[in-house]
Structure 1
Amino acid sequence: MKYVILVGDGMADYPIEDLGNKTPLQVANKPNMDELAKKGCSGLLKTIPKGMNPGSDVANLSIFGYNPKKYYTGRGPLEAASLGIKLKNDEVAFRCNFVTVNNNVMVDFSADHITTEESKELINVLNNKIKSGKFYVGVSYRNIFIYPDGKINKLKTTPPHDIVGERIDKYLPKGENSKKIVEIMEKSREILNNHPINKQREKNGKKPANMIWLWGQGKRPKMIPFEKRFNIKGATIAAVDLIKGIGSYLGLKNIEVPGATGYIDTNYKAKGKYAIKALNNYDFVYIHVEAPDEAGHAGDVEEKIKAIENIDSKILGQIIDNVNMEELTIAVLPDHFTPVSVKTHTSEPVPYVLYSPRLKPDDVYSYDEFSAKNGSLGIDKGYNLIKKMMG
């Protein structure tokens, strides 16, 4: 048996008035997801344990089969692993966003999706000017900062995508060692504000990367390898460092896909093609698509619907057409809600559909947030999905 989990990041949503009080999943043309619902079973998954932040880090760790309450230490160390950074015991990894801040207001959490090439040059400048730690280049606005002082047990930080349009003052890091971290962030403003790259971006009508935002801090987690836990070899198909980082800690093969961007312009067809190819060598493939989440954060309904339809036709459709469904167990789900009305993550249980030739279909005939509530799988904890897939 082969196993596939297809995650449309942030795909779930609330009813939208302009869509006739329906969700993007309800109005999207997604015949393959609906077909899986007819031939499989549906339900809800609690991917965000009670009291935890509804981030993609927590949610995806849960979907991989690992209880975040036990294994999660922070987003930073997960993304650091994808860059080959091996954290020492006292080191702390932060997610480091390039952001746009004007008059102390968070204007853009991605600095207008700055290119990786531009980020690389700015990271080099920061490393030359700031000696309190080390910066590493990731993808686009998503970078890493390694801080050598491990005293951050009570440090509180806020994801920048949660505070777009708000003043940053009350969201700056607070608690243990926060003064040092805030000083680093403030110093970045002095360094980046008049940098030639940002001057050129402004001339080109793009927002400048005029500050770094440090968040998601944590130390190296202790993970049990995926193959040891579930007795199968696996791989990931993803463009974002977070998923690659989780994969690295779990001993999964991170497969690079040409044109996979971690944005709405990602190469969906290539992801589907490489996933099918991966199933020749691995028993388990975890496919992650960031596009619906990006559209949700932007409050863009049309782009979200388009992303869902692309996932359905260009990834799921390819899998259904090219893999023996009698030898495949597949789950399709979002990791969390990213409603376009709030432009950030929320923690409701997510709808999922599970197909397996061993499962008797239930009476659900379409895949969406409301149909899934009537599924035979009921409601369960996210980290039980893998075990459920394997029977």
Structure 2
Amino acid sequence: MPRKLLILIADGMGDYPAQELDGRTPLQAARTPNMDAAAAQGTVGTCRTIPSGMPAGSDIANMAIMGYAPKRYHTGRGPIEAAAQGLDCAPSDLIYRLNLCTVSELSPSGLMLDHSGGHIQNEEALNLLQVLRTELDTDQVQIIPGFQYRHLLKHTDGVGTLEAGLDLVPPHDILNTPLAPALEVYARSPLLDSMIHRAHSILTSAWNQTQANAIWPWGQGPPLALPSFAHTFGLRGAVISAVDLIKGLGRAAGMDVLDVPGATGLVDTNYQGKVQAALNFLEHGDFVFVHLEGPDECGHAGDLDCKIQAIERFDEHIVGPVMLDLARMEGAVCMACDHLTPVGVRTHTTEPVPFCFLDSRQIQSGAHEGFSEAAAAAGDVHLEAGHLLLPYLLDRMQEADG
């Protein structure tokens, strides 16, 4: 088996047909010559990355694509990001993801305007968190700074409390909708209810010149434990991403976490640096999971042009260079999204995702015409569980070895 495999994830790339695009999806409308060429020479199909009954989160979807069954291993979004930071947690601790976000007002009639606090810059976010930690941290709860709008809340000995069982909604799932249902859930916890209202009071003071005026804890769970990726799949692997979610999954699985300067998690990121880091690792490693956040952020923003641009940049600056190097390293590449983030709904959805797989030893001719959601749906491979994708790819690579 050619032991060089890359999985390239354009987060949230999949979408629905749009009237503004004459019934095409952003992926169909985008110029993607490299993914189209891969589809013409390889295999296209679909994969259900979100198990039935689980929410359509990037945490669940990417865990599945890395080969781990979410229903068995997933404990929450917060614990994954805690793993990325190497946060020291006891088995009894409850870890939340904590967003800095923007609300019209923190009341039942208020709206969630932006899950990212206006895409707050990291330095601004850290300044806000310094104040919040001074005012809100106790022996029971502590705010843990992260990156940009993505942070953590550690609830010491929180496992077994009522908070552990609360169905806290992700802020990106309720954009431009009334906060009443979500605030009713917070109200069941005097601890969380007091914390979010005190934070709102602090952040709406005149000293705060950013758009972030609220905190939003969600995705809580006990610490994450994953089996070793190397022992499970026999591969030395690495992850490359700007977001702690992917870094946390990689670190929990014992994979290398490759930091790339200038990686932002937005459309404007260091594409060249990510590709070079991946290729450098494959000089001695076997597997790299490269994650791009840009299309997902554009989907949440409801920005069609931005999403098309993000897809085109993924194709040109990530897929293209990898394709050029594929034959040299006798490798294989899989391009996919983790979930759909349709511009029209501005949140994640649970449909199977399109993927394209190309092995340098199994080049076909005219297999498919272009890469898109429709092409994938018409493909020959339809995997009913996301954690089956990686074993499928490895089996195909073994077949190529003869």
In which range does the TM-score fall when normalised by the shorter chain? over 0.9
Report the equivalent of 1:144.
Answer: 152
Alignment match, 2:252: 249
Match of residue 387, structure 1, among 373, 384, 391: 391
Give distance in 1, aligned partners of 2:251 and 2:88: 11
Partner of 2:167: 156
Identify the residue that residue 377 of structure 1 maps to in structure 2. 381
The SS at the match of 1:390 is: helix
Report matched runs for 1:313-328 at 5 Å.
313-324=316-327, 327-328=330-331
Q: Is the 8 A contact 1:41 1:360 kept in 2?
A: no
* Residues 8, 289 of structure 1: 8 Å contact kept: yes
The equivalences for 1:233-382 within 5 A come to 233-324=236-327, 327-359=330-362, 361=364, 363-382=367-386
Letter in 1 for 2:218: W
Mapped to 2, the partners of 1:255 and 1:117 lie a distance apart of 22
Deviation of the 1:100 alpha carbon: 1.1
Task: Show CA shifts across 1:290-343 (max 9, x none).
Answer: 000000001111111111111111111111123436711111000000000000
Q: How far apart in 2 are the matches of 1:281 and 1:254?
A: 15
**1:11-22 matched pairs, under 5 angstroms:** 11-22=13-24
2:222 to 211, 215, 219: 219
CA drift at 1:221: 2.2
Q: Report deviation, 1:178.
A: 2.6
Q: Give 1:101's match in structure 2, choosing from 103, 106, 130.
A: 103
Give the number of aligned pairs: 383
In structure 2, distance between residues paired with 1:242 and 1:378? 26
Q: CA RMSD in A?
A: 1.6
Structure 2 residue 3 is matched with structure 1 residue 5: no
Instruction: Tell me the distance in 1 between the aligned counterparts of 2:278 and 2:329.
Output: 17
SS of 1:239 mapped into structure 2 = coil
Alignment partner of 2:75: what SS?
Answer: coil
TM-score in terms of structure 2 length: 0.92
Structure 1 CA distance, aligned partners of 2:360 and 2:325?
A: 16
The residue type paired with residue 228 of structure 2 is: P
Shift in Å, 1:270: 1.8
1:69-218 aligned within 5 A: 69-103=71-105, 104-130=110-136, 131=138, 132-148=140-156, 149-150=158-159, 151=161, 152-172=163-183, 174=185, 178-194=189-205, 196=207, 198=208, 200-201=209-210, 208-218=211-221
Taking structure 1 as reference, are residues 330 and 28 closer, same or farther at Cα in structure 2, changes over 3 Å only? same
Cα contact 2:187–2:193 (8 A) shared by 1: no
Contact 1:157 1:172 in 2 (8 A): no
SS in 2 for 1:332: strand
Q: Hey, what does 1:204 align to over in structure 2? A: none
- SS at 2:97 equivalent: strand
Quote the sequence identity (%): 40
Structure 1 unaligned blocks of 5 or more: 202-207
The whole-number CA distance in structure 1 between the counterparts of 2:133 and 2:164 is: 25
Query: Could you tell me how far apart the structure 1 residues matched to 2:318 and 2:176 are?
Result: 34
Q: In 2, are the aligned partners of 1:93 and 1:217 still within 8 Å (CA)?
A: yes
What SS does structure 2 have at the residue aligned with 1:345?
Answer: coil
* In structure 2, C-alpha distance between the alignment counterparts of 1:182 and 1:176, rounded to whole Å: 5
Q: Is 1:232 the counterpart of 2:235 in the alignment?
A: yes
- After superposition, the Cα gap between the structure-2 partners of 1:176 and 1:166, relative to the gap in structure 1 and judged at 3 Å, is closer
- Once the two structures are TM-superposed, the CA of residue 359 in structure 1 deviates from its matched residue by 4.2
Deviates more, 1:118-127 or 1:237-246: 118-127
Residue in structure 1 matched with residue 398 of structure 2 by the alignment:
none
Q: Distance in 2 between matches of 1:317 and 1:288?
A: 15
What is the TM-score normalised by the length of structure 1?
A: 0.94
Gaps of 5+ in 2: 396-402
Change in 2 beyond 3 A, CA 1:303/1:95: same
Aligned AA (2:375): S
Aligned-pair CA distance for 1:258: 1.4
Q: Please, which moves more after superposition, 272-281 or 297-306?
A: 272-281
Are the aligned partners of 1:153 and 1:176 in contact in 2 as well (CA < 8 Å)? no
Contact 1:25 1:305 in 2 (8 A): yes
CA distance, structure 2, for counterparts of residue 173 and residue 246 of structure 1: 31
Distance 1:195 1:250, change over 3 A: farther
Cα distance, 1:173 vs structure 2? 6.4
Would the aligned equivalents of 1:9 and 1:288 in 2 still touch at CA under 8 Å?
Answer: yes
List per-residue Cα deviations over 1:229-270 (Å, max 9, x = no partner).
001101111000100010110011111111100112112222
SS at match of 1:172: helix
Distance 1:172 1:265 in 2: 34
How far is 1:174 from its partner?
2.5
CA contact 1:156–1:175 (8 Å) conserved in 2: no
Which secondary structure does the structure 2 equivalent of 1:5 belong to? strand
Deviations 1:335-377 (A, max 9, x none): 0000000000000000101112454748322110001122222
